[in-house]
């Protein structure tokens, strides 16, 4: 029974509240989450590993989370009852105790709607309508009940619709990061934590207060070897952006999974890149028979444009992209009218941009506009060196996507046995996870895999042999030779100088598969 003169919170209640407050704003993929759970649960803590990661064949086991949710609800009701019993002269909570109550209440509110939010995320890919969230009524009613004491009405609390939007963003971010990045190695663990920070920064309290609507101004640059999952990073960031919630219609303003555009710059000519990005006016170039809006123009405020292989961008287009990042404005190709870009840019490259800048192939001012937020994806070799079982987990997931969960265990064993017998534990996997995926597919189809490092004929030797045999037509010969010279020269300008061709012609002739093989053998 509460009586005047007592501490408002007992020591054990304060300790639990401090732990739950930490968990409410912690990066779930960092060790601070584990320590927060351990502190809150004490002897009831279940040690199921130092990191959260998706295990083959099942979803996330959450014994600690379920227990913490129950403790938060019990704590809330006990403290509310005590507060309601306090009459005249009863001690009131301190400012810190009010803050702790609010943090525990938000933790409780999240778990109140967590299951409904997760269902909506899983259903969304099969739906094209804007989902309604009737659960918001329950959320808003509970919000009003929890924050009905005078001290809360005097504080600058987030309004329920904004809080609901923030919690849904947390749920979406966790889903896309948890399901998108497989593995329990330290490099995989650091990658998940880094992507979470790219969405929310390292200070989620500040994010909820002021940054939720400004992260589109932060360009993310993702670097790492080819095939290491840079596109997955971009997709997770784009799919996890903040979206406002309308309490009247019970709907979010847009579906960010439908507002994500990915452009592979290495696969397009400069003119096509400009048209795809900026749009064009009718007659802007040969073949532009009508006007067209580019991705920068059609991207909504909460949308994301992913520019893959940014290191391949021509300097003239680098200048135009720099303008977008500096002023958020651009013009269509063949027009002078200024248009505005309100979305977010995520860029990626496997090129060494520092070397490219020193060689004059990449603008330094553009680089420093791109790198306000940077993520490096680890190679498969790094991950396997830290935790050999990583390869097994990845094979299991890749196989399940090909043949389904029922057939996956047997085929995964077949693939892993073949790798152990023929490649061994020290194989470097130069193509990273993409190569592992193709290895599994080759074994599924043909019962074997011939990796680039074991092929007896290199790209250079094969070109020489086919030339001497007269097996190449003029177009194929030019394409293969341009690729070879470009791989040696390192830039389209230098390759064009050696070949006596325009750099645009060189770029249009590049054979990406041959180029990857030439680079892998350096």
Phi-psi category of 57—alpha, beta or left, where left has phi over 0 and alpha has psi -120 to 50? left
The answer to whether residues 404 and 487 belong to one domain is no
Question: Would you say 205 and 223 are in contact if contact means Cβ atoms under 8 Å apart?
Answer: no
Mean pLDDT in residue range 61-87? 85
**Residue 156 structural domain:** 11-181
Q: Are residues 20 and 89 both part of a single domain?
A: yes
Q: Which pLDDT score is estimated for 5?
A: 39
Q: What is the number of domains present in the chain?
A: 4
Residues 64 and 109 in one domain: yes
Distances from the Cα of 224 to the Cαs of 55, 88, 131, 246, 432, in angstroms? 24, 64, 36, 39, 10
Please tell me the distance from the alpha carbon of residue 193 to that of residue 200, in angstroms, as a whole number: 11
Domain-located, residue 191 = no
User: CB neighbours of 82 closer than 8 A, spacing ≥ 6?
Assistant: 2, 8
Per-residue pLDDT reduced to its tens digit, 13-45 = 999 999 999 999 999 999 888 888 989 998 888
221 domain residue, yes or no: no
Give Cα 217 distance to the centre of its chain. Answer: 16
* pLDDT over 80 (residue 101): yes
- Across-strand partners of 329? 340
Q: Is residue 408 part of a domain?
A: yes
Which pLDDT does position 399 carry in this prediction? 94
Same domain? For 22 and 157 the reply is yes
Q: Does the structure show a pLDDT above 60 at 522?
A: no
% of the chain surpassing 70 pLDDT: 91
Q: In this predicted structure, what is the pLDDT of residue 493?
A: 83
Choose the final residue of a domain: 337, 355, 376.
376
Residue 5 included in any domain? no
The answer on pLDDT for 409 being more than 70 is yes
How far apart are the C-alpha atoms of 99 and 158, rounded to whole Å?
A: 13
Together in a domain, 404 and 429: yes
**52 neighbors 28 (Cβ within 8 angstroms):** yes
How far is residue 34's CA from residue 20's CA, in Å, rounded to a whole number? Answer: 12
Structure confidence at residue 1 (pLDDT): 37
Structure confidence at residue 2 (pLDDT): 38
* φ/ψ of residue 246, rounded to 5: -100, 110
pLDDT of residue 515: 81
What CA–CA distance (Å, rounded) separates 18 from 418?
Answer: 51
Q: Give the pLDDT mean for 197-220.
A: 95
pLDDT digits (tens, 9 = 90+) for 360-405: 889 999 999 999 999 999 999 999 999 999 999 999 999 999 999 8
pLDDT of residue 125: 62
Q: Kindly list the distances between the CA atom of residue 254 and the CA atoms of 120, 129, 257, 341, in Å, as whole numbers in the listed order.
A: 14, 10, 9, 17
pLDDT tens figures, 146-158:
998 777 666 678 8
The DSSP line for 32-84 is HHHHHHHHHHGGG-----SS--PPTTS----HHHHHHHHHHHHHHHHHHHHHH
Say what the pLDDT of residue 153 is. Answer: 63
Among candidates 221, 203, 197, which has minimal Cα distance to 344?
A: 221
Residue appearing with tokens 């909504």:
300
For residue 430, is it within any domain? yes
Asked if 313 and 253 sit in the same domain, the reply is yes
SS3 301: coil
Strand partners, 280: 292, 333
Greatest Cα pair distance in the chain: 101
Q: Is 464 within the bounds of a domain?
A: yes
CA dihedral angle for residue 122, residue 125, residue 127, residue 130, rounded to 10 degrees: 80
pLDDT tens for 37-68 read 989 998 888 886 656 777 665 555 578 888 99
Q: Which residues, listed in sequence order, are joined to residue 307 by a DSSP beta bridge? A: 263, 347
Residue 202 lies in a domain: no
81 and 147 in a common domain: yes
- CATH code (residue 301): 3.40.50.300
Lowest-pLDDT range of 252-256, 277-281, 443-447, 489-493: 489-493
Mean pLDDT computed over 345-363: 92
Instruction: Average the pLDDT over each of 73-87, 183-197, 210-224, 315-329 and give the range with the smallest value.
Output: 73-87
Quick one: tokens of 33?
């989450």
Is the CB of residue 51 less than 8 Å from the CB of residue 177? no
Q: Which of the listed residues 410, 435, 454 is the one where a domain comes to its end?
A: 454
Q: pLDDT digit string (tens) for 460-488?
A: 777 777 777 777 788 888 888 888 888 88
CA distances from residue 211 to 30, 108, 184 in whole angstroms, order as listed: 21, 23, 31
386 in Cβ contact with 186 (< 8 Å): yes
Q: Looking at the structure, do residues 143 and 260 belong to the same domain, yes or no?
A: no
Based on the fold, state whether residues 431 and 485 are members of the same structural domain. Answer: no
Residues 361 and 253 in one domain: yes
pLDDT in tens, 190-208: 999 999 999 999 999 999 9
> Does 413 lie in the same domain as 352?
no
What mean pLDDT is predicted for residues 224-249? 95
Residue 82's pLDDT band (boundaries 50, 70, 90)?
Answer: confident
Nearest to 291 by CA among 258, 331, 264, 251: 331
Whole-number average pLDDT of the chain = 87
pLDDT band for position 4 (cuts 50, 70, 90): very low
Q: What pLDDT is recorded for position 257? A: 86
| Centroid of chain to Cα 257 | 12
The CA-atom distances, in angstroms, between 243 and each of 129, 253, 256, 261, 464 are 16, 6, 8, 17, 56
Q: How confident is the model at residue 130 (pLDDT cuts 50, 70, 90)?
A: low
311 part of a folded domain: yes
Cβ-Cβ contacts under 8 Å for 455 (sequence gap 6 or more): none
Q: What's the confidence (pLDDT) of residue 6?
A: 42
Helical packing angle, 160-180 and 95-123, nearest 10°: 60
Confidence of residue 7 (pLDDT cuts 50, 70, 90): low
Q: 276 and 167 in one domain?
A: no
* pLDDT for position 32: 85
Could you say which of 181, 216, 247 is where a domain stops? 181
């Amino acid at each position: 029974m509460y009586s005047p003169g007592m501490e408002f919170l007992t020591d054990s209640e304060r300790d639990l509240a401090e732990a739950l407050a930490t968990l409410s704003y912690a990066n779930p993929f960092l060790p601070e989450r584990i320590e927060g759970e351990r502190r809150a649960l004490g002897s009831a803590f279940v040690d199921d590993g130092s990191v959260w990661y998706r295990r083959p064949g099942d979803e996330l086991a959450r014994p600690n989370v379920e227990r913490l949710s129950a403790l938060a609800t019990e704590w809330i009701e006990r403290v509310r009852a005590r507060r309601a019993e306090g009459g005249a002269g009863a001690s009131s909570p301190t400012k810190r105790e009010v803050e702790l109550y609010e943090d525990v209440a938000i933790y409780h509110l999240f778990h109140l709607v967590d299951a409904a939010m997760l269902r909506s995320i899983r259903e969304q890919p099969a739906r094209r309508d804007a989902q309604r969230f009737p659960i918001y009524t329950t959320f808003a009613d509970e919000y009003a009940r929890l924050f009905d004491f005078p001290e809360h009405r005097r504080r600058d609390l987030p309004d329920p619709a904004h809080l609901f939007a923030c919690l849904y963003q947390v749920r979406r971010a966790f889903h896309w990061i948890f399901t998108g990045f497989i593995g329990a190695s330290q490099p995989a663990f650091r990658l998940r934590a880094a992507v979470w920070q790219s969405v929310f920064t390292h200070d989620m309290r500040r994010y909820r207060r002021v940054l939720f609507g400004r992260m589109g101004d932060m360009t993310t640059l993702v670097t790492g070897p080819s095939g290491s999952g840079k596109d997955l990073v971009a997709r997770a960031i784009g799919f996890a952006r903040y979206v406002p919630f309308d309490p009247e219609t019970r709907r979010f303003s847009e579906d960010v999974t439908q507002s994500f555009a990915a452009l592979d710059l290495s696969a397009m000519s400069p003119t096509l890149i400009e048209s795809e990005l900026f749009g064009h006016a009718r007659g802007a170039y040969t073949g532009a028979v009508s006007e067209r809006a580019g991705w920068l123009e059609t991207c909504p405020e909460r949308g994301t444009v992913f520019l893959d292989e940014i290191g391949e961008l021509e300097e003239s287009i680098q200048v135009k992209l720099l303008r977008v990042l500096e002023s958020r404005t651009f013009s269509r190709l063949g027009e002078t009218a200024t248009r505005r870009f309100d979305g977010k840019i995520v860029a990626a490259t496997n090129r060494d941009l520092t070397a490219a800048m020193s060689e004059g192939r990449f603008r330094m001012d553009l680089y420093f506009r791109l790198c306000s937020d940077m993520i490096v994806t680890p190679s498969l070799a790094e991950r396997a060196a830290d935790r050999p079982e990583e390869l097994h987990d990845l094979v299991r997931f890749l196989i399940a996507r090909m043949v389904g969960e029922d057939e996956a265990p047997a085929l995964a064993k077949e693939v892993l046995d073949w790798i152990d017998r023929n490649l061994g534990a020290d194989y470097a996997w130069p193509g990273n996870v993409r190569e592992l995926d193709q290895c599994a597919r080759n074994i599924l189809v043909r019962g074997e895999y011939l990796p680039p490092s074991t092929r007896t004929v290199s790209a250079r030797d094969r070109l020489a042999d086919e030339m001497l045999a007269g097996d190449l037509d003029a177009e194929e010969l030019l394409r293969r030779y341009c690729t070879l010279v470009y791989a040696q020269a390192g830039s389209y300008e230098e390759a064009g100088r050696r070949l006596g061709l325009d750099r645009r012609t060189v770029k249009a002739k590049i054979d990406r598969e041959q180029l990857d093989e030439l680079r892998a053998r350096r």
